[in-house]
Each structure stands twice: as structure tokens, then as C-alpha cells.
Amino acid sequence: MGTFSKRYGIFREIIGSPSGVGTSLMPVFITGIILMLVVIIAIPTFSIHAVSLIFFFAPVWMPMLLTVAALRTWIVYKQSSFIASQKYVLLEIKPPRTHAKTPLAMEVVLSGLHIKPGESTWYARLIQGKVRPWWSLEIAVIDGQVRFFIWTREALRRNIESNFYAQYPGVQIFEVPDYARLISAKPEEWDIWGCDFEQTKPDPYPIKTYIDYGLDKPAKEYEQTDPLANLLEFLGTFGPGEQVWLQIPIQVHTGEKKYHRKKNATGGQYTWRDEATKIIQEIRAKTVGKIRYKDIFTGEMRETDGFPNPTKGESETMAAIEHNVAKLAFDVGARVVYLAGPGHFSATAIPGIIGLFRQFSSEGFNGFKPTRWLAPFNDYPWEPFAKTRKNKARRFLVDAYRRRQYFHEPYELPPMVMSIEEIATLYHIPSATVETPNMTRVTSVTGTAPSNLPT
């Protein structure tokens, strides 16, 4: 546990608060010490009385504090032990040479992954440390080739393969070594930049999905506009000596991580549907205008609330939110890492990496912005220990990526909540309309043998 505590402490120092604000807690700590010393010097009598009261009530607060800390440590330990006891596999997905499936097929695949075994009882969660499974949807550029992967527990491999084969006939899925562990990825040997992404508005606001691009219905190839093509084409520009790793960890949304076990009006778990209801009520309240009228008895002018009268944009926003939260939801993370060998790092590629999801963003609804890891550094010359802290951030960034950790310690971070429609827009098997030359596809059509062959 000592190693874990040290690692966790350094990690928090690097990324700052859970919201990603700031790059170090050290300035806050130093400021607190200075303020405490100022109070002691300025009002010594008050300080002595305050310390005396703290020690006097120690038999009350100390056992409570130790109990809470011990319980938290126990839960983290049991969860970490359970996670470490599972076997995991990395599956590469080779898209078929030709197929006319829309992202709706990926939405159906994701609905098949909307399962949460292991957390059915308090005994399983708190005593056994079981956690519901999570998956990592990944796209990586390795040796100039754009490849699709999905990381999962080995026990759930059959579930993934059956869902993909059902929706994408001709796709090939096979186990491969973890590409993220095939290189050292040490800051001393590689130039590394990376960040996470978070949404620009509350979760119920949808991003620009494939339905907005007209991909919800089959169309001729030259009429299709797949927003994923921009991302894949950009990744295809990276060559030998460079690697780009993009991962989207997902787990079933149940509310307790994001909303800290807050209860809704009926006493149930507060989820993003409750947040959507609150947002819609706020929008409707803003559209209520005042009506002035003359009292026929007194002759005075009075004012009262009128009926909601939303504009077209406000009506569309409320309808989009309701449509979004009506679908199955996942807790979602998004992380990208850019690695380059000596002499291959291109600083001009960073703006493109930050804008990987720009085509899915909308000014009226939701979008993405970079956060954490290397994103908060401004590279000012007066930033204290910038090189040391950036190298620590790089090491922990790579470690978090390799662990596919986003929902549990030591890399527990606030996730986004997204519908399967939104996730299917960000990650789906591209059709033949996406002609990125460096993207690996199945070289020939394969199929099973007829069932009526003589034996």
C-alpha cells in the first residue's frame, strides 16, 4: 500500500483537482502553510485556544476520521485486488474491404455491451471489491498504419465477438499483443504529449451525431459524409517513428460515480436523466414572459406570468436533450497520447490532436475540450520545475493508458456520460466511403463453410 499511496499522491499532484484545474497542488499547500503562520503570528492567543479545542475533541473526531479512512482504503484495496485478478485481452478489429453499414450498427453493438455484472449486492461491491466491467475502444497509428482495437476482460471476449460479427459480416477479430507495451514510452527515450477530453456543456446536451450527418439511413457512397473520416485521415498522416494512441473507455452508467450518490425526487439514484429534466425545466422557465393587463375592477395595470414561449432553437435544444437521454448511457472517458522518437516529434501536430473531435462538436449543443496531463502546461519560463513535472505527467499518462484506467484508483477521473448514439458516432467501423490509405482492412472476403457439406 505504501507504493500505491506514493504513486497516487504524485498522480494527484500532477493532474491537480479532479476537474483538471491546475497542474500541481503544491502552490495551494504552500499558501495554506503561509496563511497558518500569519494567523499564529498575528493572533497567537486565538491560535493557542483553537489548537487546544482541536486536541480536546480529538477522542470524538479522530475515531470517525480513522474509520472513514480505513473503510475507503479497504474498498480501494479490494477493488484493486479484484481488477488485478482478472485476465484481459486486446482484440484487433479489421474492417471488411467493403460494407454499407451505418453507425447504427455500432450502436446495436454497444447495446449488447450494456451489461453490469458483479455489482448486484453490497456484499459483492464492498466486501469482495467487485466492479462492473469496462471496455476500451481504441484507434492507434502504429508504423504508419491506422488500426482499430477493443480491450476487454477475457471472460467477455465472446460477447464482443458475437455482437461485432452479428452486425459486421466479414469483419475479422483476433487477439494481438498490447501495442502500448511494445515500446518503452519513457520520457527519456520518447517525446510524449497527451491529454484527456471533457465536454464543454453538461452531459445531457448531445454532440453532433451521425444522425445529424444523415448517416442514419443508407445512401449511395458518394452521398455519405462520415465525420470519422476526418479523424482517420489525420491519423493517417503520421509515419514511421511516430505513434498516436486514442482510447475511449466506457462502462455502464448508473449514476453513483458522476453524481456522488445524490438522490432524485423519488428517492432513486440521481442519473443524467434527472439532470436533463432539470436543464429542460430551466430552459422552459426562461421562456416564460410577463403579461401586463388592466384590472377591470381597480383600473390598475398588473403583471403576471404568461405561458412558455420557446424559440425554435430552444425547442430544438429541449427535443435533442430528451432524445439523447432516452437512449442507453455509458460513463465515458477519452484520452490521446502522441509519441515520437528522437527527431520525429512535430509540435505542429498538437493542434490537430487537440481538435480530433472537432467535427463532432456544435456551438448550439455540446463539444470537446482538452484537459489534464500535458494540456494545462502553458510553457511559461517562470513555471516552477516544469520539466520535472511534465516528465512525471508523461510517465503517469502512459501508465494510465496501459492500464485502461479511468473509473478506478489510482487513476479515477470524472467521466462524461454519453448515449450509445454519441459513442457510436465517435467510434464505429468505417464503411467503404472512408478511403484512408493507411487504414488496415480485411484483404479478402471470408465466410464459413456451408452446413450441408458431406463429411
* Residue 258 in this model has a pLDDT that exceeds 60: no
Whether this prediction's pTM lies above 0.85 is answered by: no
- Stretch among 230-244, 284-298, 335-349, 421-435 having the lowest mean pLDDT: 284-298
* Residue 204 in this model has a pLDDT that exceeds 80: yes
Distance separating alpha carbons of residues 73 and 85, to the nearest angstrom:
18
The residue written with cell numbers 522518437 in the block is 341
- Stretch among 216-225, 258-267, 419-428 having the lowest mean pLDDT: 258-267
Per-residue cell: 203: 452531459
| Strand (E) or helix (H) holding 291 | strand 288-294
| Three-class SS state of 341 | coil
Distance separating alpha carbons of residues 192 and 394, to the nearest angstrom:
6
* Residue 191 in this model has a pLDDT that exceeds 90: yes
Q: What phi and psi values does residue 105 have, to the nearest 5 degrees?
A: -65, -40
The CATH class given to the 89-261+319-426 domain equals alpha beta
Distance separating alpha carbons of residues 215 and 227, to the nearest angstrom:
10
Reported as a pLDDT band with limits 50, 70 and 90, residue 285 is confident
CB 416 within 8 Å of CB 257: no
Q: Output the pLDDT for position 207.
A: 94
127-164 per-position pLDDT tens digit: 888 888 999 999 999 888 899 999 999 999 999 999 99
Q: Output the pLDDT for position 19.
A: 33
* Residue 368 in this model has a pLDDT that exceeds 50: yes
8-40 per-position pLDDT tens digit: 444 444 444 333 333 445 666 687 778 777 777
Give residue limits of the domains in the chain: 89-261+319-426, 272-313
Per-residue cell: 139: 484507434
| Three-class SS state of 406 | coil
Q: Output the pLDDT for position 229.
A: 87
User: Burial letters for 88-117: b for 16+ Cβ neighbours within 10 Å, e otherwise?
Assistant: bbbbbbbbbeebebbbbbbbebbeebeeee
* Residue 172 in this model has a pLDDT that exceeds 80: yes
Distance separating alpha carbons of residues 269 and 142, to the nearest angstrom:
42
Reported as a pLDDT band with limits 50, 70 and 90, residue 69 is confident
Q: Is 439 left (phi over 0), alpha (psi -120 to 50) or beta?
A: beta
